[in-house]
Structure 1
Amino acid sequence: MKLNFYYSGIRGVEIPDKNLLGVFKPKVSDNNFEIEKLVWEALQNPIGTNKLDQEVKPGDKILILSDDNTRATPVDKILKVLLPYLHELGIKKEDIIILMAVGTHRPMNQRELVAKLGQRIVDEYKVVNHLWNKKEENIYYGKTSKGIEVWGNKLLREADYVIGLGHIVPHRVAGFSGGGKIAQPGVSTGKTTGETHWLSALVPGSEIMGKRDNPVREQIDESARLMGLNFIINVVQDLKGKVVGVFAGDFIAAHRAGCALAKEVYGVRIPKADIVITDSYPADIELWQAAKGIYSSELVVKENGYVILVTPCPEGVSKAHPEIEKFGYLSLEEVKKLVENKELQELSVAAHLVHVGRVIKEKAHGIMVCPNISDELKEKLGFIPAASVQEALSYALNKKGKDASIVVMLHAGEILPINN
């Protein structure tokens, strides 16, 4: 079988039919929903809370949290419905701020903001990036039940009402994206984000991915509540990015309903295999994001198998987190020692190292096909470098034998493997 990838700069691969167990990807919906209509219907039927006309009043300062350009959420289309609705309720343009919830990613540039929000909104409304590492921009909101100190953007406290916009896909750290994640880690500091991420590092992926209610999500929800998140509008999209559902309302109740649909869309029954070829689409900007393709493979690759990560990463490993290149991917015990010795203090990075390390250091081996990361750096990170997917597959077959089973996961950054 000849398989091509989404990336023009990466050649396809020929896979022996007798080895291939299947090519798997999220589902494509047959429905042709109008997103603006779905958003309006969701706003008129919020889950777990009142309609906005009972929640906000003229003169209120409204803060809208939007996910960034690493997410496929059609925020521009959501805002085309939400903003006029707010204006009908007496909210003026000058009383609305759109805060880009970049988490610990780099700030979005002007071109990216326009692509995400639309030129008119960037021109007519106040749009700002969350700056997670600027002390003067963030304040203390309190502690969660597990003692996590919640620090985040001060604009949430200054607002009368906070609305979060995002999408729901399977997520290694939180079970699913969306919901309260727009606040934590969306507009939190690295300290708070590190502590919630580190919690997830202590738990195998099989106990978190695709499970809405888990110990990490509990702390995320508590953080979001402390920070003052009032309302969410979350979308669920299919493989092609088409919106198949919109959920608005309380950030826990509405999110829980959205996760049920996301599990149907992204949940795919996949057999375990000796060799897993995984892309990272659509999380492709840098390895910090592209590692999502590795996370999902944890649930599919057999012990001592091989995971082949196929990704472009035009911005390399991570501009915001140089510690990844410094330490490389490691086992949980190795990262624990770095944290205990205070050699690695950024816990979100520590968690990231563990999530990838669980797969390519503890359970299996990793091979990377990426034109924008050097072979030397791939090896330093803990991957076996390969110039092409064909070369990577030949290497893995040589190691595992001519009868080794192969699974391919496309759109793997958003796939939820189900084995039973």
Structure 2
Amino acid sequence: MSTVPPTSTTAGARTIGGTGDPLAEETVTRFVADALADVDLDGRTVCIVIPDSTRSCPLPLLLGAVHSALVDRVAAMTAVVALGTHAPMSEDHLARWLGYDVDDPARRYPGLQVINHRWDDPATFVDLGHISAQRIGELSGGLLHVGVDVKINRAVVEHDIALVVGPVFPHEVVGFSGGNKYFFPGVAGQEVIDLSHWLGALITSANIIGTRGITPVRAMIDQAAQLIPAQRLALCTVVQTHTGKVLAASFGTPEDAWAAAADVAAQTHVRYLDAPVRRVVSVIPHRYDDIWTAAKGFYKLEPVVADGGEVILYAPHITQLAAMHPEIEQIGYHCRDYFVQQWDRFAHLHWGALAHSTHLRGAGTWDPHTGEHDRVKVTLATGIPEHVVRAANLDYLDPATVDLDAAAADPDTFFVPDAGEVLYRLRGEQ
């Protein structure tokens, strides 16, 4: 006879599960139903903000549970895929990701409209207001003094309730993903995306990734979220690595639900090594289809790599650096100081692209006389042509020459299958 795990209240959120075994699907479904039963939904409209497939998440289970709890109560509901600036998902891809028949989505989700966040279309957005340069200075700890216009997908504003549904992981820009991050940058305009990502880059990925609490970037995101007129709620989950099964779930405001889930993610998705490693082979799963997304296989290993060490991103299936951001081929990958100390050359570019560049290149220095000196060697063993890789300031390795079995057995190599979601740190470091 199975025992249903008890629910509790943590940081103002209703919670279930933890760091132990995955929750049964029926337990998750009941938790969602009970949580939404306590919300005033009758006759109202709901915008459900969901992740794209670059995040491990049992979305058919979660969205199915939410849909079942809403369908007979709400006047209308729309699911918006929080792409940030990722590529739009095709109809076939959406059907697989959400678990419906591409020819008959209404059979699985009657009454639900599903749309991509079209970040490349100005008609997508509505203005929410402005955050002043003074306030950005306060939130960023003095790192930035630039005001920002806050824009968001109009679907969020045109519904009574905005409900985030998605997982929480260590994150290279904000510390831990989830919560209000699904609004900014998930369905946000370029302005907040650029500013928040560049702030994370100034702090550096290695210094912010896996940081609990309200980081400067999280503070900026939360400030922007206060401008959303809809009632904001969130169903945040922590999923088991490699299986995607739900370990824990929390429901409440995006701030409270995220905080509860991040506490669990900090215990389940951060692993510690006793000493630095010299060589990493990071095997990139197919959910990442360009380096823009696959770079997570570097971000989450950089903290454990010794000075002068190497991270090899093994991904023969990847054939381009950044499908939606071709400017990366012209910018290349460089450390933070390369841009900061030559700011006049780069300030006109999208700061989000500059941030991505620094995140994959990692820590380093730049000097006008001696040039750039990077702490770690980054090598791509992908389907990207060698000349493109080297022109982008990265090292190249023919993936056909990589023996994964030998790498896994090599005591001098730290072998990471299915890289990109678990963060590795050195023991004793926060």
Where on the TM-score scale, by shorter chain, does this alignment land: which range? 0.7 to 0.9
Equivalent of 1:139 in 126, 129, 153: 126
Partner of residue 387, structure 1: 398
Query: Does the 8 Å contact 2:160/2:231 carry over to 1?
Result: no
Query: Does the 8 Å contact 1:307/1:364 carry over to 2?
Result: yes
Residue type of the alignment partner of 1:291: A
Query: 1:173-227 CA distances to partner (integer Å, 9 max, x unpaired)?
Result: 1111211111111101222201100000001334311113211111122222323
Residues 418 and 337 (structure 1), Cα distance of their counterparts in 2 relative to 1, 3 Å cut: closer
User: CA shift at 1:268, angstroms?
Assistant: 0.8
Partner of residue 73, structure 1: 57
Partner of residue 83, structure 2: 102
Q: Are residue 188 (structure 1) and residue 188 (structure 2) matched?
A: yes
Partner of residue 252, structure 1: 255
Residue type of the alignment partner of 2:397: A
User: CA shift at 1:294, angstroms?
Assistant: 1.0
Which runs of 5 or more structure 1 residues have no equivalent in the other structure? 1-28, 46-50, 397-402
Residues 327 and 313 (structure 1), Cα distance of their counterparts in 2 relative to 1, 3 Å cut: farther
Give, in whole Å, the separation in 1 of the partners of 2:311 and 2:270: 20
Give, in whole Å, the separation in 2 of the partners of 1:297 and 1:333: 21
Give, in whole Å, the separation in 1 of the partners of 2:71 and 2:362: 49
Q: Which structure 2 residues correspond to residues 78-227 of structure 1 after superposition, within 5 A?
A: 78-88=62-72, 90-92=73-75, 95-119=76-100, 122-123=105-106, 124=110, 125-144=112-131, 145-146=135-136, 147-212=147-212, 213-227=214-228
Query: 1:273-309 CA distances to partner (integer Å, 9 max, x unpaired)?
Result: 1222222336521110000111112201111111111
Give, in whole Å, the separation in 2 of the partners of 1:137 and 1:338: 34
Residue type of the alignment partner of 1:255: W
Matched residues, number: 375
User: CA shift at 1:143, angstroms?
Assistant: 2.9
Residues 122 and 192 (structure 1), Cα distance of their counterparts in 2 relative to 1, 3 Å cut: farther
Q: Which structure 2 residues correspond to residues 312-351 of structure 1 after superposition, within 5 A?
A: 312-314=316-318, 316-336=320-340, 339-342=343-346, 344-351=348-355
Q: Are residue 375 (structure 1) and residue 394 (structure 2) matched?
A: no
Partner of residue 139, structure 2: none
Query: Does the 8 Å contact 2:301/2:423 carry over to 1?
Result: no
Partner of residue 232, structure 2: 230
TM-score of the aligned structures, taking structure 2 as reference length: 0.80
User: CA shift at 1:153, angstroms?
Assistant: 0.7
Query: Does the 8 Å contact 1:148/1:192 carry over to 2?
Result: yes
- Answer with 105-114 or 78-87: which moved more: 78-87
Query: Does the 8 Å contact 2:58/2:245 carry over to 1?
Result: no
Residues 383 and 201 (structure 1), Cα distance of their counterparts in 2 relative to 1, 3 Å cut: same
Residues 404 and 202 (structure 1), Cα distance of their counterparts in 2 relative to 1, 3 Å cut: farther
Partner of residue 8, structure 2: none
Equivalent of 1:412 in 419, 424, 427: 419
Instruction: Name the SS of the counterpart of 1:79 in structure 2.
Output: helix
Percent identity between the two aligned chains: 26
User: CA shift at 1:339, angstroms?
Assistant: 4.9
Instruction: Name the SS of the counterpart of 1:246 in structure 2.
Output: strand
User: CA shift at 1:338, angstroms?
Assistant: 6.0
Instruction: Name the SS of the counterpart of 1:108 in structure 2.
Output: coil
Give, in whole Å, the separation in 2 of the partners of 1:389 and 1:194: 37
Q: Which structure 2 residues correspond to residues 277-292 of structure 1 after superposition, within 5 A?
A: 277-281=281-285, 283-292=287-296
Residue type of the alignment partner of 1:56: L
Query: 1:143-186 CA distances to partner (integer Å, 9 max, x unpaired)?
Result: 34313321111111111111011111111111112111111111
Instruction: Name the SS of the counterpart of 1:414 in structure 2.
Output: coil
TM-score of the aligned structures, taking structure 1 as reference length: 0.82
Query: Does the 8 Å contact 2:301/2:425 carry over to 1?
Result: no
Give, in whole Å, the separation in 2 of the partners of 1:388 and 1:292: 19
Give, in whole Å, the separation in 2 of the partners of 1:56 and 1:330: 49
Query: Does the 8 Å contact 1:165/1:233 carry over to 2?
Result: yes
Query: Does the 8 Å contact 1:36/1:80 carry over to 2?
Result: no
Residue type of the alignment partner of 1:91: V
Partner of residue 55, structure 1: 40
Give, in whole Å, the separation in 1 of the partners of 2:285 and 2:219: 28
Partner of residue 306, structure 2: 302
Query: 1:65-105 CA distances to partner (integer Å, 9 max, x unpaired)?
Result: 111122222221112211121134x214xx11111111111
Residue type of the alignment partner of 1:218: A
Q: What is the alpha-carbon root mean square deviation over aligned residues? A: 2.6
Give, in whole Å, the separation in 1 of the partners of 2:26 and 2:346: 49
Which runs of 5 or more structure 2 residues have no equivalent in the other structure? 1-18, 137-146, 365-372
Give, in whole Å, the separation in 2 of the partners of 1:229 and 1:369: 46
Residue type of the alignment partner of 1:193: I
Residues 42 and 86 (structure 1), Cα distance of their counterparts in 2 relative to 1, 3 Å cut: closer
Q: Which has the higher contact order (CA 8 A, sep 6+)?
A: 1
Query: Does the 8 Å contact 1:169/1:262 carry over to 2?
Result: yes
Equivalent of 1:274 in 271, 274, 278: 278
Residues 104 and 338 (structure 1), Cα distance of their counterparts in 2 relative to 1, 3 Å cut: farther
Residues 174 and 36 (structure 1), Cα distance of their counterparts in 2 relative to 1, 3 Å cut: farther
